[in-house]
Amino acid sequence: MTLRPVEILEPIKPPAPSGPMPQLEWVPVASLVINEAYQRPIVTRGRKNIRKIAENFRWGRFAPLMVARGPGPGQFSIIDGQHRAHAAALCRIKDVPALVVDMSLQEQAASFSWVNGSVTALTPLAIYRAALAAAEPWALQCDAVVSRGGGRMMTYVKSASSKVPGEVFCVAAVRKIVEAGQGPALTVLIQGMMAASTMQDAHFYGSPFLVPVTHAVHQAGLTRGDLVAEFLETVDPWRIEAKVTELRKGGEFEGVSTSALTTRSYLALIRAWAKERRA
């Protein structure tokens, strides 16, 4: 058997500990709550995980939960470990070990994002939801860019059949657009889309359309939603999408991505429309 001690591998300047020291306590499962402002919903994969934990339950495999006191008297909000908590409930266990930390709602959301984002494979929407609850600047910017356009930056997944125009789920794409300084272009694009009769299909509020057309709007210098709407009324987006797919199959545009070719197509159409409008 080889044993080794805990070592300082690389010296760093550690941050000063903030807040009161956490306490390790046994807390009643009945007192645990899940704050949906930042926590993920339990879907099919989560239910399977809970069942697996419950069917193989051993205290030696059960890591303490991380919880915050409140919001109500005697309640504890789960920061990390909601699947373990549900598995314990399934096993009819009354009390579970938990690290109890005193935190504000914003601190809870930030801790959830940090702990789970560093360990668990979270979806972009789950990360965004927690970041929004924690008032992280990038999340607030994404929300503002979409909402100013009249759309809604979603925080949860919906089936394709239940999506409606104006709902934006591609948070990773929106974040990249914002970080590239093209947030205003996305805002006016969504404004135009919400007003244009040709854009009343949820399909166009995904990244395959929003990303390249935002680039085109930005490069064309369009800064008004009403002008974007006027332009969009003149095009058939389904036909353009089919044409781009057809061109990609040919050899002429080998090496050019679908997104880049879509940007080129819309930029050319915007410029032609603007020229005709000025005539």
Cβ(192)–Cβ(228) under 8 Å?
yes
The share of the chain scoring above pLDDT 70, in percent, equals 97
The verdict on 166 and 253 lying in the same domain is yes
The verdict on 273 and 156 lying in the same domain is yes
The verdict on 141 and 269 lying in the same domain is yes
**pLDDT tens digits, residue range 112-129?**
877 776 545 567 888 898
What CATH number should be reported for the domain holding residue 32? 3.90.1530.10
CA pair distance 216, 127, nearest whole angstrom? 28
- Please enumerate in sequence order all residues whose Cβ is within 8 A of that of 99, keeping only pairs 6 or more positions apart, or say none: 22, 23, 24, 64, 65, 66, 67
Say whether pTM exceeds 0.75.
no
Q: Are strands 65-69 and 95-101 parallel, antiparallel or unpaired?
A: parallel
- Has residue 128 been placed in a domain? no
The mean pLDDT value for 143-157 works out to 95
Q: Which helix (H) or strand (E) holds 277?
A: helix 258-278
Q: What is the pLDDT of residue 39?
A: 84
The verdict on 150 and 77 lying in the same domain is no
Q: How many domains does the chain have?
A: 2
- Has residue 5 been placed in a domain? no
The pLDDT of residue 203 is above 60: yes
> 3-state DSSP call for residue 2?
coil
The verdict on 86 and 146 lying in the same domain is no
Residue ranges making up the domain that contains 50? 23-104
Residue 198: band (very low, low, confident or very high) from pLDDT cuts 50, 70, 90:
very high
The residue ranking higher by pLDDT, 84 or 158, is 84
Q: What is the pLDDT of residue 3?
A: 78
